[in-house]
Structure 1
Amino acid sequence: MKNFLKFKKTAIISLLLILCLVLSSFVFATGETDENSNKVKNVILMIPDGMTIAHTTLARWYQGGEPLAMDELACGLVRTYSANNPITDSAPAGTAYATGYKTQNRYLSIFPEISSMPGVGQVEEKDFYKPIVTILEAAKKSGKSTGLVVTCQFPHATPAAFASHSDNRNDYENIAEQMVYNRVDVVFGGGWKYIGKNSRKDKEDLVSYLKQNGFEVTNSWEVAKNYYGSKIWGLFAQDYMHYDIDRNGTGEPSLAEMTQKALQILSKNRNGFFLMVEGSEIDWASHANDPVGVVSDVLAFDRAVKVALDFAKSRNDTAVIIAPDHTNGGMTLGNYSASADSVLLNNFLKYIRKATRTGAGVEEILGNNRTDENIKKVVSKYYGIDNLTQDEINAIKNAPAGRLNYVLGPMISKRSYIGWTSNDHTGEEVVLYAYHPNGYVPHGVIDNTEVCDYMAEIMGIDLGSFNENAYISNADLEEKGYDVFIDTGNPYNIQLVINSKGKTYTIPQNKNVLIEGNKQYTLKYVSVYIPGAKKFFVSSEVEDLLK
């Protein structure tokens, strides 16, 4: 009897195992388990602005050859061209990551009217300049928390691409207002002057608006790092923050510290979050051909990468994508004065390791005291250079305000056998790095728009459905028979005015509100005015409110 029961038990177990195998084979064939296992709650996109392979190589040598935190994640290359140019600027590059669409240089998350690059489809004329819903906006509308962590001023091109829409990336005040009304949950970086009532041309009190909507708003890192709520804007400089190596004594936090705090706050949301972290000033150092700034901020960015990776690896619901938006400067380790046999590692690193400030930091120290002797003294102390020529001294003395790094950077580069081809962006591919808890990452050479597609896929967000009926234009409303005009009487507060059934409706630019008499309605999307085209785009549910 015991043997029979043992046989029966064994048979049942065997049948169950066979059944499980059949079921698992069926599920694998349908792809359902794989598809679900690829979904994550949280996505951290990290953008080292302007970073090239030469940047990372130099940063590795600077820290003794030790690998960077991002090295283990390298998995492919990203093509960076914009809709109208082989060399992108940060606005369309950020737009591609934010929306999955290419646009033209200077534009932020709107459709282009010029699509001249191979493989970029032409947009219908009626959709020229139309705002494109970003992955940050879609994530927020899906119940997730959202964050932007940068070292530049927050309405600068890359962060702006995720939370605003404009045909002019330099229109900081209007961009800032859109970003505020988009109510991004966590914003850390610079740019206090763009939300302060007294420093804005339109005198909008964006600080009060944020506070009235439950945000902590501060310019103090001490306040921010001790905040344990869920919504905060911490802007730690009036404009942009310092390079990392210049930050001691300023009270400004590091990119890693801001990233750590943002993750602490955003991870409270059970629905998950989307966070974009930018190493903003890698790009600026490259524009200036300043290798000290490059090393400073590549390593600062990499420390933030480690924070993000440690967070992601401590759980199973978070993906990290690291992708520069473009290359910059044409930096090379080796120039026309270098040969493979004559230049040793110390020749590259000697002066960069001696430097304790970037050119921008030295400019602050020099101030207006640009005598020959003081220039020699300061450059010797902070750069270890004791052999300045008179021509170099004169160049330092005559450097325009805010441009001394464009003088000192090349001096360091020349002494370090580092070559540069440009003070601007270049058009090569960039390295893609990615971490997914199940190893589901892109490989090969992909387009920058595919980075957004990948993020949307793993978060389970259908960006197409968000864009399908998000915006209508003033022309659309006119075609439907509404009496519409754009009121430009106050250039700092342009409004769309709609007359319908004896009532007047007003929609101010950059806000997500519709006003009718004493009534105010909150709209799904911020309103966008494109001055050059005289186009005003509003959230599509406006039409329902007019009926």
Structure 2
Amino acid sequence: MKRRDFFRNAALTAAAATVTSPFSSLGNSRNHPPQGRGKVARNIIFMVSDGMSAGTLTMANMLSELRDGRLSTWMSLYHDGTVSRGLMDTASANSLVTDSSAASSAWGGGVRVNNGVLNVAPDGSRPIPILQKFKAAGKAVGCVTTVPITHATPAGFCVNNDSRSAQAEIALAYHDLRFDVMMGGGTEYFDSERRKDKQDVFGKFRKSGFRVVQTRDELLAADAAGDAAPLLGVFHADGLPYALDREHDEQLKNNTPSLAEMVESAIRRLSKNRNGFVLQVEGGKVDWAAHANDIGGLLFDQLAFEEALATAIAFAKADGDTLVIVTTDHGNANPGLFGGTKDFERVFRFRHTNDWVLQGIDRDFTAAQVRERIEHAHGYAISANEAIQLLAHYVTDRNEDGLYNPYKLPFADLAAIQRKYTSVGWASTGHSGDHVEVAAFGPGQQLLRPFVRNTDMHHLMLEAAGVAANVNRSGRF
């Protein structure tokens, strides 16, 4: 099938549906690139389920099989034997346990950097990020994520910066780099009312010829218009809503696109470039849910990511010139199922995440109200003593730690209670040093070896696309 037929027949949406929406029916290792021969990839789609431990991939597939009677997208690729598969070492320059900025920089710059920085090597050098290389080589480039578009994983493919926290600065860097499609959350880094310097960064993008969209309807309208302008889509403050909460809130569904919808839109726009494209896609809320030990947030966002993966694979099959790489940057919290099927099946009936539950409780709640809220969200009732235990966190000074927890909510405590009802346990609330899954489909997949360092993926992408490793920012080789 030709690419034009793929889009004309809306095959992206149909193909994604074959894997089913998750809510339907219920130091550097190399100084040289890896070697190999084969067809050159015109396009590359690099898919990252951020913070996905092996247990997350396993339980998402269990949920898919038990509920829908079929393998998850990722497991279907393994089952069908259509991908090359390997394990990847994820360490950063200064730690066996990486953070997302160092992990993405390893892919983006081909050099291991210290945790917390973006493409700034320990010796102070600043390797050219890979999307700048591909842009200089004439390809359309972009990033799509469910967390702020200025966050560590997309930024690692795009910019050099001494701090991953400089997100307001990164937003301005995106403007100057003029990437073709950038979509995610992070309104506070673009809106003049929310930026500390009061710059109207949205307005700056518009004046420079970007199509700026801030709602799902505006994104759909931009797709229908079919213009060739570069696109900035920022749909929510901070991260986008969790997929599970979005599915059960009509306002969120109407206002914010799903990851699969953003990916379809990005592919449609980027594929107009005659020299091909490179797109990074991140399921960033998988990582945030793992930090929170939030099993509903984790698994339904993983399935939403896999719906987006199905969209990418469908395009790659129809196109024939697209390499899809799917992986994660590191493990997180190492969740696992430690009990029977019937307990785990309760997750199928979840209507909301633990984040939704805890955000809606305050110190004036009674134990009965806490139990009622959890029963509405999860379909089971905790005990009165367990509800009192949770309430205690709201009437004393909160000292709960963990990333992405600005309100100091008792995520770990709720997860410990929840294990009794779901049989899901957690090793921690932080990243792990595990080797992680990586798979490749399409032209160039033969370059993936059974074991790689994270930096190897930088060289693999360049070689697969036939782009010289030393292309510079001016486009000269």
How does the TM-score come out when normalised to structure 1?
Answer: 0.72
User: Which of 419, 423, 426 is the aligned partner of 2:429?
Assistant: 423
Q: How far is the alpha carbon of 1:380 from its aligned partner?
A: 1.1
- Counterpart code for 2:50: D
Match of 2:161 in 1: 166
Aligned mates of 1:397, 1:240 — CA distance in 2: 28
Aligned partner of 1:83 among 93, 99, 119: 93
Could you say if the C-alpha distance between residues 465 and 64 of structure 1 is closer, same or farther in structure 2, counting changes exceeding 3 Å? closer
- What's the counterpart of residue 103 of structure 1? 113
Q: What displacement does 1:366 show? A: 4.1
1:19-418 alignment to 2 at 5 Å?
A: 35=37, 37-65=38-66, 66-71=70-75, 72=77, 73=83, 75-112=85-122, 123=123, 128=124, 130-227=125-222, 228-230=226-228, 231-247=230-246, 248-249=249-250, 250=252, 251-334=255-338, 343-347=339-343, 349-366=344-361, 370-396=365-391, 398-399=393-394, 401=407, 403-418=409-424
Inter-partner Cα distance in structure 1 for 2:221 and 2:100? 33
Deviations 1:273-295 (A, max 9, x none): 11000000111111111211111
Cα distance 1:93–1:453, how it changes in 2: closer, same or farther (>3 A)? same
Q: Secondary structure at the match of 1:463?
A: coil
Residue 180 of structure 1 and its aligned partner are, at CA, apart by 2.4
Say which SS state the counterpart of residue 143 (structure 2) adopts.
strand
Kindly provide the CA deviation profile for residues 159-194 of structure 1, in whole angstroms up to 9, marking residues without a partner as x.
111222222211221122212222221111101120
Residues 290, 413 of structure 1: 8 Å contact kept: no
Larger CA deviation: 40-49 vs 431-440: 431-440
CA contact (8 A) 1:41 1:317 kept: yes
Name the counterpart of 2:401: none
- Choose between structure 1 and 2: higher strand proportion: 1
1:507-518, aligned counterparts within 5 Å? none
Counterpart Cα distance in 2 of 1:41 and 1:205? 36
Number of residue pairs the alignment of both structures matches:
412
1:87 partner letter: V
Aligned to 1:460: 466
Tell me the CA shift for residue 396 of structure 1: 4.2
Q: Mean alpha-carbon deviation: is it higher for 218-227 or for 195-204?
A: 195-204
Q: Cα RMSD over matched residues?
A: 2.1
Runs of 4 or more, structure 1, over 6 Å off, are: none
Contact 1:291 1:413 (C-alpha < 8 Å) held by counterparts:
no
Q: Whole-Å Cα distance in 1 between the matches of residues 328 and 151 of structure 2?
A: 16
Q: Is the 8 A contact 1:289 1:420 kept in 2?
A: yes
Deviates more, 1:443-452 or 1:380-389: 380-389
Q: Relative to 1, partners in 2 of residues 1:438 and 1:425: Cα closer, same or farther, differing over 3 Å?
A: closer
Q: Distance in 2 between matches of 1:402 and 1:244?
A: 22
CA contact (8 A) 2:242 2:285 kept: yes
Q: Is the 8 A contact 2:333 2:427 kept in 1?
A: yes
Q: Return the offset for 1:443.
A: 2.5
Cα separation, partners in 2 of 1:421 and 1:439, compared to 1, 3 Å? closer
Q: Alpha carbons of 1:346 and 1:40: their partners in 2 closer, same or farther (altered >3 Å)?
A: same
Task: Give % identity.
Answer: 31
Distance 1:458 1:404, change over 3 A: same
Structure 2 length-normalised TM? 0.82
- The question of whether the paired residues in 1 share the 8 Å contact of 2:393 and 2:409 is answered with no
Tell me by how many angstroms 1:364 deviates: 4.3
In structure 1, how many angstroms separate the alpha carbons of the residues matched to 2:118 and 2:444? 33
Tell me which structure has the larger Cα radius of gyration: 1
Task: Give unpaired runs (5+ residues) of structure 1.
Answer: 1-33, 113-122, 335-342, 471-523, 526-539, 541-547
**Helix, strand or coil: the match of 1:434?**
strand
Is the alpha carbon distance of 1:329 and 1:414 closer, same or farther for their aligned partners in structure 2, counting shifts above 3 Å? farther
